[in-house]
Amino acid sequence: MTGFVVRRIGQMALALLGVSVIVFALIHFVPGDPVRTALGTRFDPDVYEALVRRHGLDRPLVIQYFSWLGSALQGDLGVSFRSGQPVTGLVLERLPATLTLAGAALAVALVVGVPLGVVSAVRSGSKLDYIASAVSQVGVSVPDFWAGIMYILLFSLTLGWLPPSGYVSPLVDFTGWLRHLVLPALAVGLVSGSIIFRFVRSAVLEALNQDYVRMARAKGLSRRAVLFDHVLPNAWIPIVTVVGLQLGFLLGGVVVVEIIFAWPGIGRLAYLAVGDRDFTVLQGSVLYIATMFLVINLVVDLLYAWLDPRVRYD
């Protein structure tokens, strides 16, 4: 187990390093001079000079990378090409909003996908299974941003139940915060929920067909006991893995949905940075999102190992 944990953490560190190279390289993919591009019509030779010097863009690439990496490790991602504010501060300010939305969306996805998936598998071939499977087939094909727009159209503009967009801090107005959270969380969560439903259903179906399930029934256990004591503990293992992978998809959905709902998270920050050609802010946003994804996947893998004795006792 410790071997596995160490190996897995090492892998994550390596992946992070790779991500940092990609993120660093981002600026250097920009055709021409990124700072000049960023400043555009507001070009001012003094600001230009300052930015180039601040980011060391006049030094050789390798040195640039390592000094960038060194600062990044200390939490310094440079300053915004646009506003001159520190990037780390800009990103961290928006991190809680993104985490909240991602967490809420995941909660929706799990609450919808897991129980329905289990029931569908146990009653496979039933009307419920048929309907749930058909709905999920639709669910996986709906673009989340379109779903978001349709929800706004229906629940805000037509029915007037929920606010169409925006954000209030839960510390100021908790129910207001919750009301703002519902639609974006549903937009992202229901799509992921459909995918999770399908995996749960097939994982449970697969577990149900194992010999040890028949053996457990032959020992006199009830269907219910077999389900909870033998089927599900085995089904969780692939399910946990898939939920981990789903998180990448879910984070991507969060990024786009943030924009529709004017949700002040990292996705919206990145989007605005793209429009502003503010490459340092974009770098910071991408780095944080990728790190979040890697950390979550690490946690998921450790959970996986803990669930599976074949890995735990290795």
Partner 1 sequence: MTQPVLSVRDLSVTFRTREGPAKVVDRISYDLGPGETLAIVGESGSGKSVSSLALMQLLPTPPAVVEGEAIFEGRNLLTLDEPEMQKIRGNRIAMIFQDPMTSLNPVRTIGHQLMEPIELHLGLTGRAARERAIELLHLVGIPSAEERIDDYPHQFSGGMRQRVVIAMGISCEPDILIADEATTALDVTTQAKIIDEIKGLQERLGMSLIWITHDLGVVAGVADRVVVLYAGHIMEEADVDDLFRVRRNPYTRGLLASLPVPGRTSRRLEAIPGLPPDPLRPPRGCPFSPRCPYVADVCVREEPALREPVPGHRSKCHFDPEDLHA
Partner 2 sequence: MTEPAAETTVGVVAHRSRLRTTAETVLRNRLAVFGLVILVLLVLVALAAPLIAPYTINEVDVANRLQGPSSQHWFGTDELGRDVFSRVIIASRVSLQVGFVSVGIALGLGVPVGLIAGYYGGRIDSILMRLMDILFSIPAIVLAIAILAALGPDIVNAMIAIGVVYTPIFARITRGSVLTLRDAVFVQAARSIGASDLRIIGNHVFPNVIAPIIVQTSLSLAFAILAEAALSFLGLGVQPPNPAWGRMLSEGRAFFQQAPWMAIFPGLAIFATVFAFNALGDGLRDALDPQQRSIIESRGRS
Residue 215: which of partner 2, partner 1, none does it interact with, CB under 5 to 8 A by kind?
A: partner 1
Q: 67 or 209: whose CB is closer to partner 2?
A: 209
Q: Exposed/middle/buried for 310, CB within 10 Å: 0-12, 13-18, 19+?
A: exposed
**Dihedrals φ, ψ of 210, to 5°?**
-80, 155
Question: What residue ranges bind partner 2 (CB under 8 A)?
Answer: 11, 14-15, 18-19, 22-23, 26-27, 29-31, 137-138, 140-143, 145-146, 149-150, 152-153, 157, 209, 248-249, 251-253, 255-256, 259-260, 267, 270-271, 273-275, 277, 279, 282, 286, 289-290, 293-294, 297
- Residue 146 CB contacts under 8 Å (≥ 6 apart), including other chains: none
Give the binding range for partner 1 (CB under 8 A) out of 13-21, 82-90, 205-213, 246-254: 205-213
Q: Which of partner 1, partner 2, none lies near 169, with the C-beta cut-off 5 to 8 A by kind?
A: none
Q: Which of 33, 76, 210, 295 binds partner 1 (CB under 8 A)?
A: 210
Q: Which of partner 2, partner 1, none does residue 162 bind to, with CB < 5 to 8 Å depending on kind? A: none
Site string for partner 1, 211-240 (x = CB under 8 A): xx-xxxxxxxxx------xx--xx--x---
Q: Nearest to residue 242, comparing CAs of 304, 190, 294, 156? A: 304
- Output the smallest distance, CB 175 to partner 2, in A: 25
CA 146 vs CA 143, 167, 185, 188, 194: distances in Å: 5, 20, 13, 10, 16
**Encoded amino acid at 179, one letter:** R
In 3D space, the residue among 248, 132, 261 whose CA is nearest the CA of residue 185 turns out to be 261
> Which pair of structure tokens corresponds to residue 258?
């943030």
